[in-house]
Structure formats: structure tokens, C-alpha cells
């Protein structure tokens, strides 16, 4: 796998993981027992903890990419191993 392809796939993993991690631990000002900031939506997070979430995102996406890359190298699971995804046509594996 070329380095540019690996980087692009890692960034996809990172972005998807970020969206999965963002909602964890979020509380509004009302839930935190604080006064809301004037002009801010009632649903806005009181303390989003973005640094912590970016760190968790990086760790989780690195682990997921590591599994993906190991599968790419060693061929543990291919499309023919997934029910309903059997290859059809001229590129079918023998």
C-alpha cells in the first residue's frame, strides 16, 4: 500500500472515529448546574473536552487502522469471506 493511500485511509478512520467519540460525556449547562452563556443555544455543551476527545480519537483510530492494515497484509478477511459479498464476474478468485 502506498503511503498516500495509507494516510488517506487513516484520515477516514480518524474522521469517523471523531464523530463517534464527540457525544461521549457531553453535558449542557443545565445538566452541569451552571448558568448558560447568553446567546448560546440551550443544547450547547458546557465543557466539550475537545483535547481529551482528540487524543481518544487518535488512539482508537490508530488501533482500527492497525487492524485494517494487518488484514490488508495478511489477508485474514476478504470479500469472499463475507456472506452476500461473493465475487462475481471476471475478477472472481479461484
pLDDT of 36? 81
Which whole-number Å values give the CA distances from 6 to 10, 19, 33, 64, 78, in the listed order?
Answer: 6, 20, 45, 13, 18
pLDDT of 70? 97
pLDDT of 91? 61
More confident call, 46 vs 18 = 18
* pLDDT > 60? residue 67: yes
* pLDDT > 90? residue 3: yes
**14-23, 38-47, 70-79, 81-90: range with lowest mean pLDDT:** 81-90
More confident call, 81 vs 60 = 60
Q: What is the pTM of this model?
A: 0.76
Q: Which residues contact 40 (CB under 8 A, 6 or more apart)?
A: 29
Amino acid at each position: 500500500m502506498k503511503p498516500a493511500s495509507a494516510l488517506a485511509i487513516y484520515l477516514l478512520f480518524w474522521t469517523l472515529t471523531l464523530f463517534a467519540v464527540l457525544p461521549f460525556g457531553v453535558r449542557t449547562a443545565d445538566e452541569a448546574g451552571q448558568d448558560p452563556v447568553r446567546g448560546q443555544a440551550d443544547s450547547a455543551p458546557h465543557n466539550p473536552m475537545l483535547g481529551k476527545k482528540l487524543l481518544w480519537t487518535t488512539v482508537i483510530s490508530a488501533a482500527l487502522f492497525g487492524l485494517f492494515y494487518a488484514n490488508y497484509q495478511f489477508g485474514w478477511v476478504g470479500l469472499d469471506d463475507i456472506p452476500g459479498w461473493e465475487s462475481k464476474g471476471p475478477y472472481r478468485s479461484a
